[in-house]
Amino acid sequence: METNAINEPTRKSRVNYELYVKICGLRTPETVAAAVAAGANAVGFVFAPGSPRTVEPELVRTLVAQVPEHVETVGVFRNQPVQDVIDLALRAGVGTVQLHGDEPYANLEALHAQGFATLRAFSIDGYRALDDAERQRWESGRILLDAVEPGAGITFDATELVEAPPAGTWILAGGLNPGNVAHLVGTLHPAGVDVSSGVESSRGTKDVDLIEAFIAAARSSCATSP
Ligand SMILES: O=C(O)c1ccccc1NCC(=O)[C@H](O)[C@H](O)COP(=O)(O)O
């Protein structure tokens, strides 16, 4: 089976860590096409209930069909039973599952057994509360550090990252936008960035111009990252 950069099994996933850029919370063919054309490494679809971005798996299946093989397709879940996650991800046809709640490590293992690549998101508070052994275990896979409220566009406070993972091994999210992404990448040295609110014209509605501007700004930061 094909594997990705950290040797996880993948379905439709290839991961480029030069600077990985994920555009999350997509819901339309136009915005998916814009993200892909602008050079996104990954496109994300929210299955967590209660979000203005929540989508049905049948819609996502049609969106995934327009995504080229080299772009990672990510389903985002939050505190849902692992069997529901697997069922939804299979119906949608995504290659990667992002767990954005308090899910245990066993859920990640269950997803790997089904052939999904994974991303485990932590709030800054959640990450700081991990002991050394937990941190080491989660950091053996890909982790994403986010603001306390996911998908809320809360601007990231860099001073909270004194205990950041090693430079270049993790994905930064939380309140990123075209105006701050280059500076934050240059300062914090993540392996990648993930954005939702910062590329929206109103809550839940993606804006093609902002998607293009975000990806261009993120790419311009590469000269200052390790
Ligand atoms: O986007 C949501 O509404 C959402 C809901 C529940 C769990 C996760 C969610 N989004 C996760 C993401 O990947 C966002 O891109 C990430 O939290 C950054 O969001 P933002 O601060 O809005 O850029």
User: What is the average per-residue pLDDT within 38-64?
Assistant: 97
For residues 96-121, give the mean pLDDT: 96
Considering the entire predicted model, what is its pTM? 0.90
Q: pLDDT at position 79, please? A: 97
Residue 215: the pLDDT is: 97
pLDDT attached to residue 114: 97
Closest atom, ligand 1, to C-alpha of 194: 15
Distance 49 CA to ligand 1 centre (A): 12
Are residues 17 and 5 in contact, defined by beta-carbon separation less than 8 angstroms? yes
Report the nearest atom of ligand 1 relative to the CA of 150. 17
The residue contributing the CA closest to ligand 1 atom 16 is 151
**Alpha carbon 187 to chain centroid, angstroms:** 20
Under CATH, which architecture does the 20-224 domain have?
A: Alpha-Beta Barrel (3.20)
Single out the catalytic residue among 24, 131, 132, 222.
24
Which position among 84, 87, 146, 209 bears the catalytic label? Answer: 146
- Residue 18 or 84, more confident: 84
Give the pLDDT mean for 1-12.
43
Rounded Cα–Cα distance for residues 42 and 16 (Å): 9
Q: 6 C-alpha vs ligand 1 centroid, how far in Å? A: 23
Q: How does residue 162 score in pLDDT terms, banded at 50, 70 and 90?
A: low
Predicted local confidence at residue 156, as pLDDT: 64
Average pLDDT, the chain: 88
24 is catalytic: yes
3-state secondary structure of 199: helix
pLDDT at position 167 is: 74
Look up tokens 């849902």; give the residue.
Answer: 80
**65 vs 126, residue with greater confidence:** 65
What's the pLDDT at 200?
98
- What pLDDT score does 153 carry? 85
In ligand 1, the atom with minimum distance to the C-alpha of 52 is 3
| pLDDT one-digit tens code per residue, 189-226 | 899 999 999 999 999 999 999 999 999 999 987 644 44
**146 in active site:** yes
Residue nearest to atom 4 of ligand 1 (CA): 151
| Residue among 21, 103, 146 whose CB has most ligand 1 atoms within 8 A, to mutate | 146
